[in-house]
Amino acid sequence: MPGDAVAARAKPLAGPLVKALGVLCGAVSRAALVLAGAALAGLGLVVIYGVVMRYAFNAAPAFVEQVALLLVICVAMFGASVGVRESGHIGLDSVVKLLPAPARHACALLAQGLVLAFALVLAFGSAAMCESTWPNGIPTLGISEACRYVPPLLAGALVSLFCVERLLALALDGAD
């Protein structure tokens, strides 16, 4: 078939590109995991600090709740993006596994396309929220309210990148 000849010529060129993208995505994924871990550790420290200050010294710091909220957002967003790359999320594929290989491949492409669509909506929606909330401040922290939407924006971009990586691998390898 004509498409097979084009694909055969494209694979030798695309193989190193996909491999390089995989290396890049692996490094970015590890960095996101480190950020999520650091945010989780920071969250633990901030909560412990808040509890000790409130109950031992009767002097609850006003900023603890807002810092904890920002850190929870970071843990969730960066952790979720790594989970998408590592396929650590819940998958409902018991029916898909029963399908023939071409149908499984089509389902994998469809699933990645839907995840990509969600990630783009997340990224662009978060960017719009950053823009609209930029003038507003978080009173106890003295920073812009837009900071709450930066982690989802970055997570949407990361998930989009990871979906493109997986879609390219699926399109070139035909593996599911």
- pLDDT tens per residue across span 129-161: 999 999 999 999 999 999 999 999 999 999 999
Find the helix packing angle between 101-133 and 150-173, rounded to 10°.
160
Confidence of residue 12 (pLDDT cuts 50, 70, 90): low
Q: What is the pTM of this model?
A: 0.85
- Dihedral of CA atoms 26, 167, 82, 145 in degrees, nearest 10, equals 110
Cα distances from 86 to residues 2, 29, 66, in angstroms, run: 35, 9, 30
